[in-house]
Amino acid sequence: MAVTILGICTAVAILVPLRSGIDVDTAALVLVVPVVLGVTVGGFPAAPVGVVAGFLAYDFFFIPPYYTFRVGATHHWVGLFVYAVVGLAVGGLVAQLQRARNDSEAREAEGRMLAELASTPAGEDAMEESLGRLVHLARRLLGLTGAAVVLAGDDSSLQVVAQEGITVSDLTLRHLAAHRPKGGFEEVAGSPGVWAAPLPVSVGTGGAVLVAHPASTSSGEPEARLLTVFAHQAGVAVDRARLAAESRRRRTLEEVDRLRSALVGSVSHDLRTPLASIKASVSDLADTAVELSDADRGMLLRTIEEETDRLSRFVTNLLDMSRIEAGALEVRPQATPLNELVDEVLHRSESVLQPRPVEVDIADLPLVDVDYFLVGQVLANLLENAGRYTPPGTLIRVTAAPIGRWVEVRVSDTGPGIPSAERGRIFDAFYRPSGDTGRDPSQGTGMGLAICAGVVAAHGGHIWTEPTPGGGATFVFRLPAVVARSEPPGPPPSVTTAGTGA
């Protein structure tokens, strides 16, 4: 309206000095222009005000007698009437065009919002991340001061899983729990300015609610419609996230069942067999009716010792495996001469390796920064594995060489080797290669290599397997060398050997 009044005043100021040289109808046409400008800026309500102000200015300044509101001739009355009709008609037409333009722009903006909303992935990541993106998008596109998504658990308790710009209070949650919105957006009873809409979820027993803080106390139809679309999209995100979580849970249960079956199978052989041997040996020793020579008695005692050692290794492997899978493996690194560690492990493993000669080549090595006991267990497991698959009388080789800030250790056997398709799984817990077919299952638990991988990884190193030239398998792992404390060893060098499965 102010634009209209200012325009009329400007037109009068310009035309009054020129009115002796212009026609009265020309002044009427010029005074229609401020009415059009006012309607363009302020809408149709500016049209009647502009027409009335223009009518009075037209009569006062341009119809004789000047500076009075008297009209001296009939044709001037006609001019005034035509001015009023034309002013209102033009104002109404301009207002209608302006409304159409505004509606078109609003629909275009709404279409862009919906397109951006549709392109936002729902539920592909964790539920909190997916809903967080939708909440952020709702605030940005709709100009909300805040938005949040609230989920209901199986026990009807409400939990905020994503929010931005607001903090949903406990009081609001209690009000939502007492009065859930039924359909569309409703103002939460007892929480003025807080609006909520149910999310159409179909997965799970708990419902969901989208909470919004509009920038103004009233929301128009387009905003309400868009908020409803957001509610549906958030519902899709909740459904997909719940389905993904259920799928992950089922995969975890399947893996647990697989590991449980493998563990039961492993325990059934690795506990029953040595226990049966110990039981038989002890029974023979305790039976006074059985006459035993010193040689027989010594053989039975050695059997008890060997089977007890096997049980001890098995229980140790179980405990270590559980610590590795729980992320509770504690590493106490210290500067260690690798040659001394290898000599000690070879001495402990004599009974397992005989009658297989072992060739050692680990001269001129830097100290390694490792846990002495854990890395000793890695070497013992690899040597035991090599002794299990290497035919009697054939060679087992242990070599080591420095590579940058790492020391690379290799344990090679001349057994049947590992098929290339299985090298990627050989370090999985309870996995036995297909080459074990026909072998005594009690000779391996399927945990030794998995423990090796966990211990080497805990030291920041890497372990893999390669084929031994001429036949067999070579297990390779890298350990950090001792360096200045201010100079970290950095990541192990990349492994480029093809087909290692590492």
In a domain, 23, yes or no: yes
Q: Nearest to residue 464, comparing CAs of 430, 490, 483, 492?
A: 492
Buried b (16+ CB within 10 A) or exposed e, 9-25: eebbeebeeebeeeeee
pLDDT < 50: residue spans in the chain:
122-124, 218-222, 437-442, 484-486, 496-502
In a domain, 147, yes or no: yes
Q: Based on the fold, state whether residues 475 and 334 are members of the same structural domain.
A: yes
In a domain, 256, yes or no: no
Q: Based on the fold, state whether residues 342 and 453 are members of the same structural domain.
A: yes
Burial of 114 (0-12, 13-18, 19+ CB in 10 A): middle
CA distance 16 to 112: 50
pLDDT the model gives residue 42: 66
In a domain, 494, yes or no: no
Q: Based on the fold, state whether residues 285 and 347 are members of the same structural domain.
A: no
Q: Based on the fold, state whether residues 409 and 391 are members of the same structural domain.
A: yes
CATH number at residue 166: 3.30.450.40
In a domain, 487, yes or no: no
Output the CA torsion 386→336→482→379 (10° steps): 10
pLDDT the model gives residue 120: 55
pLDDT the model gives residue 440: 47
Which residue among 201, 228, 245 closes a domain?
245
Q: Based on the fold, state whether residues 355 and 464 are members of the same structural domain.
A: yes
CA distance 207 to 153: 7
Distances (CA, A) of 459 to 121, 330, 334, 492: 39, 10, 11, 11
Please list, in sequence order, all residues whose beta carbon lies within 8 angstroms of the beta carbon of residue 434, skipping any fewer than 6 positions away.
419, 422
In a domain, 257, yes or no: no
Query: Tens digits of per-residue pLDDT, 233-280?
Result: 777 777 777 787 788 788 878 876 776 666 566 566 567 778 888 888
In a domain, 262, yes or no: no
Which residue among 83, 114, 145 closes a domain?
114
Q: Based on the fold, state whether residues 145 and 194 are members of the same structural domain.
A: yes
Q: Based on the fold, state whether residues 345 and 458 are members of the same structural domain.
A: yes
pTM over 0.75: no
Which residue among 285, 302, 324 closes a domain?
324
Cis peptide before 355 (omega within 30 of 0): yes
pLDDT the model gives residue 83: 67
SS3 state of residue 363: coil
Q: Based on the fold, state whether residues 460 and 354 are members of the same structural domain.
A: yes
By DSSP bridging, strand 334-336 and strand 396-403 are unpaired
Cis peptide before 419 (omega within 30 of 0): no
SS3 state of residue 400: strand
Q: Based on the fold, state whether residues 310 and 404 are members of the same structural domain.
A: no
pLDDT the model gives residue 149: 83
Q: Based on the fold, state whether residues 315 and 341 are members of the same structural domain.
A: no
Residue labelled with tokens 């309500």: 45
Q: How many CB atoms lie within 10 A of CB 116?
A: 12
CA distance 40 to 38: 5
SS3 state of residue 385: helix
What is the domain count for the chain? 4
Q: Based on the fold, state whether residues 7 and 96 are members of the same structural domain.
A: yes
DSSP 146: E
Q: Based on the fold, state whether residues 289 and 350 are members of the same structural domain.
A: no
In a domain, 363, yes or no: yes
pLDDT the model gives residue 361: 92
CA distance 411 to 414: 11
CATH number at residue 369: 3.30.565.10
Query: Tens digits of per-residue pLDDT, 32-45?
Result: 777 677 667 666 67
CA distance 270 to 114: 62
Q: Nearest to residue 76, comparing CAs of 51, 55, 47?
A: 55
Please list, in sequence order, all residues whose beta carbon lies within 8 angstroms of the beta carbon of residue 131, skipping any fewer than 6 positions away.
149, 161, 162, 234, 237, 238, 241
CA distance 318 to 312: 10
Residue 340 structural domain: 329-480
pLDDT the model gives residue 166: 81
